[in-house]
Structure 1
């Protein structure tokens, strides 16, 4: 009789193994989609820099006005008094009680909680109760909030990780769709298609703007001469 007896896995252990495999597949897919999203953002940023160098400089007056608007809005925000409601204070205390960095000794977890607490503090300063509720809900649903050891507890953690991965995949898909609907992405696509036909669409746009600027300048000079 074989002395090496292979222990049969319990149903819980078999289920945990399946979920670990499912999580690994989801994480691989998530990594690929994160890469695609990062690449798209990088390409758009590069195109935006080129656009600003060629076209943006011709809108300097608009930039000046927008800067004044931003300055005025900042002044209004600075003049507001901070008066947190009792409900806002309660939410803040509830969130801080669960995720405060001082509650853990692991350095990596401590740094992660510090970043999250920065979001909490900003939401509190903004008086954003909805944001605080969202942070609290995500934390209570996170794998990190599950305490204890053992197969059953680990299974709960993995299930929550799977849920988080699926949520992030959905968020990436939504962000990709949103980016592809932006004017900047549409313009980038038009410029790329024009380049295939040997056209420089940005330079054509710049020339049209230069003509409008020149005509406006001529009109201004004409008015000055009449006066």
Structure 2
């Protein structure tokens, strides 16, 4: 039933409306098809990524291990600070790529992923934070609750090996929450 059928007055009707509506319906159908294609491409990419990681991650781990051994040999012959730093960096990369290889293997086997490697800086920050914010140091129940929540955040950051977040949490603990209620 149109406005003409019930006696209503129509001031103006766009002559292009039907064509534009048909075009809109066609474009919506095309968009739906493209979304299906995108989902399929993402699924294929994810499968390829898992396959690639399962094959290549152990090879990269082996390569990084060899490079770390070479850097360690160089550091033994040249005891300069730059050479030692390069050796430490190479060893860190080797640990990370070994972790990635273990994670790829666990994904392929459907096992639980291993924890990321935790560097010496993350370990130092974690220990320092826990010493300062541990709930056993609380003065009252409210302080204990704040410390328990903060300790949970510190533990989560450490479990992920997130050195940057641990450093940020250290600044947060030292800086307080603006109201001065965080112990220093």
TM-score, length of structure 2 as denominator length: 0.38
Bigger share in helix: 1
**Which protein is bigger by CA-based radius of gyration?**
2
TM-score, length of structure 1 as denominator length: 0.32
